[in-house]
């Protein structure tokens, strides 16, 4: 359940960061004002989520779980496990270079922070809420596109 929660957080954060960083993916406009850049970014969130979401949930969760298993098998101490896991997240994140490396770094950070700070057992309610986070962002972006054109 922790990997699904981390995937939801990663999908949400990655999409926002990537949309702001690359609002005009095909580079149609050279110089965008701040308002136009934010408009393009929020308009593109809907499409970025369609592609990034499934990849992060499937590939990201599986490779993160594999990284954690390898780290637990290889390293005896917790800080060494975190380091080994970070290296494997980076290696698995190199599949699409900067784009997937950003997603892998966000996934590793959100999963590690969630693992360290969470003391109570996970419940299905929290897992469902984490899935609703990117879906809510997608819906908000879709409504924005419909309203502004």
Q: What is the DSSP letter of 25?
A: T
Query: Is the pLDDT assigned to residue 99 strictly greater than 90?
Result: no
Question: Are residues 6 and 111 in contact, defined by beta-carbon separation less than 8 angstroms?
Answer: yes
Provide the pLDDT for residue 67: 94
d(CA 90, CA 93): 5
State percent of the chain over pLDDT 70: 93
More confident residue, 62 or 122: 62
Torsion of CA 135, 125, 66, 109, to 10 degrees: 70
Identify the weakest region by mean pLDDT among 14-18, 38-42, 49-53, 109-113.
38-42
Indicate whether this model's pTM tops 0.95. no
Query: Is the pLDDT assigned to residue 29 strictly greater than 80?
Result: no
Cα angle for residues 97, 64, 95 (degrees, 5° grid)? 20
d(CA 78, CA 84): 10
Counting Cα atoms < 13 Å in the Cβ hemisphere of 145 gives 14
């Amino acid at each position: 359940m922790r990997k699904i929660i981390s995937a939801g957080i990663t999908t949400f954060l990655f999409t926002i960061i990537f949309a702001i960083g690359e609002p005009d993916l095909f580079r149609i406009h050279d110089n965008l004002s701040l308002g136009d850049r934010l408009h393009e970014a929020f308009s593109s969130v809907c499409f970025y989520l369609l592609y990034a979401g499934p990849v992060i949930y499937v590939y990201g969760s599986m490779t993160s779980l594999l990284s954690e298993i390898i780290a637990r098998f290889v390293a005896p101490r917790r800080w060494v496990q975190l380091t080994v896991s970070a290296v494997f997240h980076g290696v698995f994140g190199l599949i699409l270079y900067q784009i997937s490396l950003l997603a892998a770094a966000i996934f590793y950070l959100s999963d590690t922070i969630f693992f360290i700070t969470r003391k109570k057992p996970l419940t299905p309610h929290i897992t469902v809420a984490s899935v609703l986070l990117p879906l809510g962002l997608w819906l908000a972006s879709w409504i924005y596109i419909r309203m502004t054109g």
